[in-house]
Every structure is written in structure tokens, then in C-alpha cells.
Structure 1
């Protein structure tokens, strides 16, 4: 149970009393940066997908024990989502790294459209993980749109 909690709370960042999802997302940023620095964005995307698939079963088992769906302390889903947002849209500019984080948090908190439907209708580990994966995907797509607009205006 020790390693499960360590993993799901992403080194206990999810135990923050306030804004545990944001704290967990911030805790993921140094890992994302180091992955980009030493490897590349392909690996960040792969790490996101590995986390996604591994976490589903771990969360299913954890929820059976604690009897709470999508407990606030579980932030591995935010790690997965922010990794995907940055990985899909990173372009070697630090401002973009920050923009991907902000847009991911926006989509994760507001849960527009299909993100909210997934959050409400899919139970278990899949529901916990999938809404954040979608939030990361939509954040990345919006980042790419911003990049394209800035490039067309010769600002990038």
C-alpha cells in the first residue's frame, strides 16, 4: 500500500490540503522538463501512455480499498495529462511549456464537452485517467493552434 500511495499521489504531492491537482501537475513539470532535455517529446508521450495504462488497474484496486471514486489525493492522472499536453505540442520554447501546463489545468478544472461526460459517466480507474488524458489532448491541440497563429503573424 505504501508504494501504491506514493505512486498515485505522485510522491505525496496529492496530499496537499489545497489544489492537490494543481500541486500534482506542478510536481510533474520537472520530470517533463528533464525528459525533454535528456530525451525528447516522443518519450514524454510514451511515458504518458504508460502511466495511463498502468494506473487504471492500480486505481481500480485502490478505490476498492478506500471506497472513494477519484479521491483528491490521486494526482497521477494529472501527471499523465500534463505529460501528454506538453509532449504533443512542445516546440523548444519555455513559454510553450508553461502554456501547455496552464491550458491543461484549464481543461482539467472546467471539464468542457466530452471531458466532463467522461468524468461523470465512466467509473473506476479508466474514468479517473481518461478525463485527464483528454484534457491533455485538448490542451495540446489549443497550444498548436496558438503556435500556428503566432507563426502566421510572424511573432514566432
Structure 2
């Protein structure tokens, strides 16, 4: 088991001027003194709009690249802060949100539902998220729990879209 997350507000002076830390902190959104994961998840949405128009294969390649780069970004930032999963590291929330948004909602309601479901799974960490979070080290451990939360949110959205929406509209 790893140590608890550190408060997001405690950062060394000039910390976010380093490009790796700036990205790991979600362009600074993770430096919010309260609920940095929520702010990071929200900050992921405008970035998502910048590449959501890509064909599905290209979209998922961008998400995969962001995941792989994120392992290094988050691991390096955590090492520099000497905290396993500092609350301000939100690149993992960015990638998790991009996975949750993978059905490419064209209405704000779909984006809001993806956000709410992702935050639900990310905060509650049901199995297997909690199991993975407790066992995977470094940047991989930081990234994987949010990736699984994103997959669970995406699965719920797919279920809603497949089995609920046809009976509502």
C-alpha cells in the first residue's frame, strides 16, 4: 500500500514552470487547492474538443500516446515531489476523461454524463480500481486506476446509449 495523497496546494516554488510538471499538473489545473482531480477532469474537456474530431483510430492512438507519456510524466513528477500520487497530478484524469468521452458525445449532456460517471468511478474506486491502485508502482500505478475508471464510465455510457436511450427518444 502506498502513502496517502499529499494536498495539492503544497508545491515547491517555481514547480509548475518545469514543462513535465506543468503537463502532469494538467496545465496547472491540478494546483487547485480543493478538488484538484475534479478540476483536472474539467480541464481535460476543452483539450478533448481539440482532437475529438479525429477519426476513431487516430483518436485512440492519441489517447494511447497520452497514456504512455503519462506514465513517465506522472512518475517523474511524483519522484520529484517525493509523494507516490500527489493530489495535484491530474494527467491521469485527463486520459481517463478522454477514455470516458470515447463515444464522442455531440451534446453537452453526453459530455456531462461522461464527466459525472468518470468522477464517480475515480472517487469511489470500486474493484478492480482500488486493487490496481494499491498494487501498481510509480507512474503506471498513477495512470492505471484512472484509465480503468474511464473504461468503466465508457462502458456505462455505452450501456445507457444502447439499452436506455432507444426507449427514451
Q: Tell me the TM-score normalised to structure 1 length.
A: 0.90
1:94 aligns with 2:108: yes
User: For residues 156 and 51 of structure 2, what CA distance do their matches in structure 1 show?
Assistant: 22
1:30 aligns with 2:46: yes
Count matched residues. 153
Q: 1:130 aligns with which of 138, 144, 159?
A: 144
Ranges in structure 1 where 5+ consecutive residues have no aligned partner: none
1:59 aligns with 2:74: yes
Q: Tell whether the 8 Å contact from 2:21 to 2:73 is kept in structure 1 after alignment.
A: no
Q: Tell whether the 8 Å contact from 2:24 to 2:77 is kept in structure 1 after alignment.
A: no
Query: How many Å apart are 1:59 and its aligned residue?
Result: 2.4
Structure in which a larger fraction of residues adopt helix: 1
User: For residues 51 and 81 of structure 1, what CA distance do their matches in structure 2 show?
Assistant: 10
Query: How many Å apart are 1:111 and its aligned residue?
Result: 0.3
Ranges in structure 2 where 5+ consecutive residues have no aligned partner: 1-16
1:82 aligns with 2:97: yes
User: For residues 29 and 42 of structure 1, what CA distance do their matches in structure 2 show?
Assistant: 19
- In structure 2, what is the equivalent of residue 107 of structure 1? 121
Per-residue CA distance 1:110-145 (angstroms, 9 max, x = gap): 000101111111111000000000000000000011
Q: Tell me the TM-score normalised to structure 2 length.
A: 0.83
User: For residues 43 and 99 of structure 1, what CA distance do their matches in structure 2 show?
Assistant: 24
User: For residues 166 and 97 of structure 2, what CA distance do their matches in structure 1 show?
Assistant: 26
Per-residue CA distance 1:3-59 (angstroms, 9 max, x = gap): 0111101110000000000000101111112322x4355444322211110111232
